[in-house]
Amino acid sequence: MSLTDDVRTVRGACPHDCPDTCAMLVTVENGKATKVRGDPDHPFTQGGLCVKVNDYTNHTYSPNRVLYPLRRVGRKGEGQFERITWDEALDEIATRFQSIIDEYGGQAILPYSYLGTEGILNGLTVGDPFFHRLGATVSERTFCDSSACTAYFMTLGPTAGLDPESFVHSKYILLWACNIRSTNLHMWPFIKEAQERGAKVVAIDPLRHRTAQSADWHIPIKPGTDAALALGMMHVIIAGDLVDEDYVDNHTVGFEDLAKRVQEYPPERVSEITGIPAADIVTLAREYATTNPAAIRVGVAIERQVNGGQAMRAIASLPGLTGAWRQVGGGILQLPLWAFPLKWDVLQRPDLIRPGTRVLNQWLLGPALTGELELDPPIKGLFVYNCNPVVMVPQQEKTVAGLAREDLFTVVSEQYLTDTADFADIVLPATTQLEQFDIMFSWGHLYISLNQPAIEPLGEAVSNVEQFRRLTQRMGLEDDWYRLSDEEMALAAYDWSAPPLEGITLDLLKEKGWARLNLPGPDEYAPHAEGNFPTASGKCEFYSSMAEQAGNFVVPVFREGYNEFQPGNAVDPLPCYVTPEEDLNGGPYPLKMISPKSHAFLSSQYGNMDYQRRVQGEQSVIMSADDAEARGIDEGQPVRVFNEQGEIQAVARIGTGDLVARGVVVCSVGQWRKLNPGAATVNAINRTAFGDMGNNPTFSDTRVEVAPIESS
């Protein structure tokens, strides 16, 4: 921190659930933050901030901020509140929660949170110790990467994989199910540099988005068929003797079984499944196998399908088959966060969970609150923080109906009156990143970052940590974690003696703001050149020992009705592709809808901010010219996008050229329900079923129809 008279610069880090975790510099004048900019010295984020954050001071100082505790005075959903004191809010929460516990037991309280902030202290797990002590229902959080991470572990183990900065050395780059330029912006310069050095960049995605338009080759794939494409590539590689036999022999297991499996996926069959010409499948496989070093960047969208886990398994197997791991710039990048030595047991305190406590998947909030999912005891208390479930959870109308229950006591901690906060009985004011202390990992690069508060909290806003400190004390719970200061928590959250943190201290982070983990540099980092995978075998497992040894390694499969979750089939130890039931049976909804992240919103964050809303535009549905013509739909025309779940209203955007394939429509997520025509957003119609492992969502298998809205 540097001081010049009454102007100072404070080092911080972007709080968002994004792979970039940007280093920020905050200018403070006379106690007010006047500017937020990227730190130009950070090797990965290099001084840039995205459209979501580059006006973050407006977000912090918006006149619409929630700055004081509020109590509902109108009907649920109206968003009418009166200001109360913190003591009044804490007393009411403590009294109501204790009353619920006395009558129904602790499991009648449901905590509901996700990654509205990605900070280690204030993020995903901040409330876990508090709610575990209450005996509350355990929230199962599988919105993102649960399936992909399970599959990745089954194949490669918890490895950071390829360093994103090493992509400059890659000669062939597959960008699979990821729009780098919109959702991983600061990685693009490394890919662009490789491209300028002669690397071929290939984007595999149903939509020719910003990244695909900048690639050398865009391969439009039918949503949900990625596993088939990867298996088809392996068929070509093995049949064409393009396997790195030495690497396979010494650093992989299960090759013979895999070779038999991929015989089922010749290019002609894969072409029928994926919609990709067989010749292109052959070319892709041969180019990937013969151009080293070859890199794969796989996006979180890969799992949003029935075959999500097996798609990740198949894609993660490719570098082991070709020996791409041998060289710097070769391999696969999924989540490098596995390199950070976090003490998750300290943060989550699973030891506090009482035996027999039920687990409820957050995906089922709507039916859980309406009673359609019969729970004993029923949910009588709900505490929402770090998320906006009305917008982000499927079965939107059921979620709204459940939140409208007068016998449901709901607390929401928020910065703004979101669609969810409108239904709260008590709203608690939450700080922004400029007002709180936190320490950040990253799921997109290898730098640890420290966020120091730049200004005093506005009004009576408090950090999530402070909120749970106050609640713990008010409810008379014995606790040692929330008695720690923020800095003491940061020191307890990491294993500072672990090799990746050697030479890194909290004092260093206070001075510099960030530090690269103690790993080889991006010009030399080839973590699996000699194998050494953190799996049970120490090798890349084409044939998964996790699946084989468990025998009953099964995942819940969503059945009709909410009271019946039957065990699914044991996870196939080999990558495979299973045709979704909807694709086999057809039905009245002929179009497949994908709902990617928006360019200007972060999930639903900034969905209420004027600047970001202008950049993003209104809710739209992108469709091919052929599909639009067949339905009598013109560019810019209001339309209904609907299925058996419900409908949303959108503006038609007709794709030119090969922007989107015939039979596929695109509706980005993030718009707020109360600001959207028809009072419904994308998750009102998204598919509710779970996928093949890890209870993954299956957005990419959603089927819809689109029809024009007739003018009155």
Residue type, 223: P
| CA 94 to each of CA 87, 134, 477: distance values in angstroms, whole numbers, following the listed order | 10, 11, 11
Ramachandran area for residue 642 (φ above 0: left; ψ -120 to 50: alpha; else beta): beta
pLDDT at 559 over 50: no
Domain finish residue from 288, 315, 334: 334
* 42 in any annotated domain: yes
**Side chain identity at residue 306, one-letter code:** V
SS3 content of the chain, % helix, strand, coil (to 5): 35, 20, 45
Mean pLDDT computed over every residue of the chain: 93
Task: Give residue 379's pLDDT.
Answer: 98
Please count the structural domains in the chain.
4
Q: What angle do CA 525, 295, 326 make, to 5 degrees?
A: 50
pLDDT in tens, 195-227: 999 999 999 999 999 999 999 999 999 999 999
- The structure tokens 């606790």 sit at 479
The pLDDT, as a whole number, for residue 548 is 78
Q: If residue 95 lies in a helix (H) or strand (E), which one and from where to where?
A: helix 86-104
Do 643 and 495 lie in one domain? The reply is no
Contact between 113 and 385 (Cβ < 8 Å): yes
Instruction: Transcribe 607-619 into DSSP letters.
Output: TT-HHHHHHH-S-
Give the whole-angstrom CA distance, residue 286 versus residue 303.
Answer: 25
Q: Give how far Cα 582 sits from Cα of 466, 587, 592, 703, Å.
A: 47, 7, 10, 8
Q: Residues 595-624: what's their mean pLDDT?
A: 91
pLDDT-derived band at 6, boundaries 50, 70, 90: confident
Contact at 8 Å (CB) between 155 and 546?
Answer: no
Question: Are 140 and 249 in a shared domain?
Answer: no
d(CA 81, CA 386): 20
Same domain for 222 and 344, yes or no, is: no
Range of the domain at 164: 147-334
91 and 133, same domain (yes or no)? yes
Q: What is the dihedral of CA 246, 252, 255, 256, to 10 degrees?
A: 90
Q: For strands 381-385 and 109-113, give the pairing.
A: parallel
Share of the chain above pLDDT 90, in %: 86
Percent of the chain at pLDDT > 70 equals: 96
Q: What is the predicted pLDDT for the residue at 5? A: 61
Buried b (16+ CB within 10 A) or exposed e, 213-227: ebbeebbbbbbbbbb
Q: Is the pLDDT of residue 443 over 60?
A: yes
Q: Please report, for the domain that includes residue 624, its CATH number.
A: 2.40.40.20
- Residue-wise pLDDT for 47-67, tens only, equals 999 999 999 999 999 999 999
Q: Which amino acid, residue 568?
A: G
Same domain for 287 and 162:
yes
Q: For residue 570, which amino acid is it?
A: A
71/440 Cα distance (integer angstroms): 33
Q: What is the C-alpha to C-alpha distance for residues 171 and 489, in angstroms, rounded to an integer?
A: 43
549 assigned to some structural domain: no
Query: What DSSP character marks residue 430?
Result: B
In a 10 Å sphere around its CB, with 0-12 CB exposed, 13-18 middle and 19+ buried, how is residue 102 labelled? exposed
23: amino acid identity, one letter: A
d(CA 81, CA 84): 9
- Residue 563 is predicted with a pLDDT of 30
pLDDT at res. 602 = 86
Tokens at residue 655, please? 């794709």
| Pair 601, 483 in one domain | no
Q: What is the pLDDT of residue 547?
A: 83
Would you say residue 537 lies in a domain? Answer: no
Residue 236 is assigned to a structural domain of this protein? yes
- Where b means 16+ CB within 10 Å and e means fewer, 617-627 reads eebbbbbbbeb
Q: What is the token pair recorded at 79?
A: 């968003």
In contact, 151 and 693? CB cutoff 8 Å? yes
What was the pLDDT predicted at 560?
30
Give the tokens for residue 178: 């990821």
Confidence at residue 142, expressed as pLDDT on a 0 to 100 scale: 87
Domain harbouring 92, CATH code: 3.40.50.740
**Which pair of tokens denotes residue 673?**
């329900």
Taking each helix axis from N to C terminus, what angle separates 278-290 and 226-239, rounded to the nearest 10 degrees? Answer: 60
Within 10 angstroms of residue 709's Cβ, the number of other Cβ atoms is 16
List the single range of 95-99, 140-144, 640-644 with lowest mean pLDDT.
140-144
Residues 171 and 202 in one domain: yes
- The CA distance from 352 to 130, in Å, is 9
Do 410 and 431 reside in the same domain of the chain? yes
Counting Cβ atoms within 10 Å, is residue 249 exposed (0-12), middle (13-18) or buried (19+)? exposed
Residues 71 and 77: their CA atoms lie apart, in Å, by: 13
Residue type, position 324, single letter = A
What's residue 334's pLDDT? 95
| 524 pLDDT more than 80 | yes
Q: Where a domain ends, among 516, 540, 568? A: 516
Peptide bond into 158 cis (omega under 30): no
pLDDT over 50 (residue 248): yes
- List own/partner pairs for 2-7 with CB under 8 A and 24 or more apart: 6/30
| Amino acid occupying residue 265 | Y
Average pLDDT rounded to a whole number, residues 334-356 = 94
Which residue's entry shows tokens 């639009």?
A: 628
Confidence of residue 557 (pLDDT cuts 50, 70, 90): very low
Residue 562 has pLDDT above 60, yes or no: no
Looking at the fold, whether 621 and 643 belong to one and the same domain comes out as: yes
* pLDDT of 558 strictly over 90: no
Across the range 472-492, mean pLDDT stands at 96
In a domain, 526, yes or no: no
Whether residue 484 sits in one domain with residue 500: yes
Q: Are 135 and 163 found together in one domain?
A: no
Q: What is the pTM for the complete model shown?
A: 0.94
Question: Helix count (H) and strand count (E) of the chain?
Answer: 24, 30
Q: What is the CATH number of the domain that holds 234?
A: 3.40.228.10
**What DSSP character marks residue 544?**
-
Q: Is the pLDDT of residue 420 over 50?
A: yes
CA atoms within 13 A on the CB side of 84: 19
Please tell me whether residues 29 and 44 are part of one structural domain.
yes
pLDDT at position 712 is: 59
Q: What is the DSSP letter of 266?
A: -
Among 477, 493, 516, identify where a domain stops: 516
> Which residues in 525-645 belong to E strands, given as ranges?
540-541, 556-558, 565-567, 591-594, 620-624, 638-643
- Is residue 667, in this structure, part of any structural domain at all? yes
Query: Does some domain include residue 529?
Result: no
Rounded Cα distance, 633 and 653, in Å: 9
Of the pLDDT bands very low, low, confident and very high (cuts 50, 70, 90), residue 554 is very low
544 within a domain of the structure (yes/no): no
Reading phi first (left if > 0) and then psi (alpha if -120 to 50, else beta), residue 203 is in: beta
Q: What is the mean pLDDT of residues 321-328?
A: 98
**Which residue bears the tokens 């996008």?**
641
Angstrom distances, CA of residue 134 to CA of 78, 94, 111, 281, 418: 30, 11, 11, 54, 27
> Which are the contacts of 188, defined by CB distance < 8 A and separation ≥ 6?
180, 181, 211, 214
pLDDT value, residue 144 = 85
Q: For residue 255, which phi and psi values (nearest 5 degrees)?
A: -65, -45
Q: What is the pLDDT of residue 293?
A: 98
Domain of 50, CATH number, reads 3.30.200.210
Distance of CA 76 to the CA centre of its chain: 29
Q: Which element (helix H / strand E) includes 172?
A: strand 172-176
Q: How far is CA 583 from the centre of its chain?
A: 26
Per-residue pLDDT band for 409 (boundaries 50, 70, 90) equals very high
